[in-house]
Amino acid sequence: MVATAVLATAIISLFVISTNADVITSLDVISSPSAGQQCPPRYIRVNQDLNQGSGGNYIYLCYSTDPIFGEPVTEILVMASTSGSVPTPFRYTLIPQDLNKGAEGKYIYLMYSKNGDFPIKGIYAIAGDNPNISAPPGWIKNTQDLNEGSGGKYIYFVYTYN
């Protein structure tokens, strides 16, 4: 299901990615100089370019609800760096793909954990012209702008446990 909502001057595209029966079991990121790249098998692409407006690579989040990947994802963490490396906290998996690849700006990395108490059931990205984008009720906004320092749209991951 795809819905569009307008908040202040920002347009937010909502890509709801799972039903209440599904939980996210794996995350991945794809990057390409062209827009047509597909996710690996068993993954579904969230159709929001994470580099929108920055002039860098086309970067997309991919997720899976396939139980082959084991336990559900329970936490996400996004970290920014000026040096190109970030520390990976204990029990987190680093996805080694700079979310700002090909654009100027900070190096941005996504990590996830499967060691929390509650499984994540939905994740997508919101984009707008200002940082005051709100997550819909029941969704949590990660506060790290995925385009920090690149001059593109303000883009954030949002996720839900519901």
Please write the tens of the pLDDT for every residue from 21-47. 599 999 999 999 988 899 999 999 999
**Residue 2 reports pLDDT greater than 90:** no
Q: Quick check: 152 and 33 in contact, CB under 8 A?
A: no
Question: Sheet holding 92-95: strands in order across?
Answer: 75-81, 107-113, 92-95
The pLDDT score that the predictor gives to residue 21 is 58
With H, G, I as helix, E, B as strand and everything else as coil, classify residue 88: coil
The pLDDT score that the predictor gives to residue 128 is 93
